[in-house]
Amino acid sequence: MSLRVIVGISGASGAAIGLRVLELLAETGRVETHLVISPAAERTLATEVDSAAPARARQLATRYHEVSDIGAAIASGSFRTAGMIVAPCSIRSLSAIAYGQLDNLLARAADVHLKERRRLVLPVRESPLHLGHLRAMTQVTEYGAIVAPPVPPFYLMPDTIAELIDQIARRAIGLLDLGTAALPINEWQGGGA
C-alpha cells in the first residue's frame, strides 16, 4: 500500500456514497483506508443501505477508528495521508469543521487536513440551504477544503441509483488527485451541434 486516505461517514442521507468510496479504494489494492463513522451515520447506513452496512464499511477499511477516540493516530498532523473524504458530509459535521468544534474524531481528523494543507473533500448533503449553511461552506472553502455536493451526473444517462452513487463516489475520490488510473471517472466527451 502506498497511499493513506481517511474516510469519514457522517449522518446525512446518502451514506451509500461513503460505502462506495470505501469499496472503490479497497478495489485498488494500493490505498490504506482509515474509517470514522459517526453514530448518526451508523443509523443512516442501516436505514438506507441495510442493517449489515455499518459492519461492511468497517470490514472494507484497512483500519477503523471509534468516533470518540480523539487520541487516534489520524488526529495528528504527523500521521501522513493523501487526503480525507467525508461522504456524505452532514451540516452538523460541516459546521463542526468550519467553526473548530472538534469534539469527535471525524471533525478533528478533518481539521488536521486543513491545518496541514492536505486535501479535504466534503460532499455536503443538504437542500435547500440557508445562509448559515452557505457561510459554513464558504468558511471551509477559505480554509482549503473542497465542497463538492453529491450532484448526480445526469449527462451520463444512468440507469440505476447504484450508477449515480458510483459516479458521485468516483468524483469525490478524483478530487483527492491520487493519480491512479484504477478509478476512472466517466468524463463528459462534449456534445456536438
Q: pLDDT tens-digit profile of 68-99?
A: 999 999 999 999 999 999 999 999 999 999 99
Is pLDDT of 192 > 60? no
Q: What is d(CA 32, CA 186) in angstroms, rounded to the nearest whole number?
A: 24
Q: Which three cell numbers stand for residue 117?
A: 494543507
Q: What's this model's pTM, rounded to 2 decimal places?
A: 0.93
With contact defined as beta carbons under 8 Å apart, do 148 and 84 qualify?
no
Confidence of residue 170 (pLDDT cuts 50, 70, 90): very high
Instruction: Please report the domains of the chain, with CATH numbers, ordered by start residue.
Output: 3-153 (3.40.50.1950)
Is pLDDT of 157 > 80? yes
Q: What percent of the chain has pLDDT over 70?
A: 92
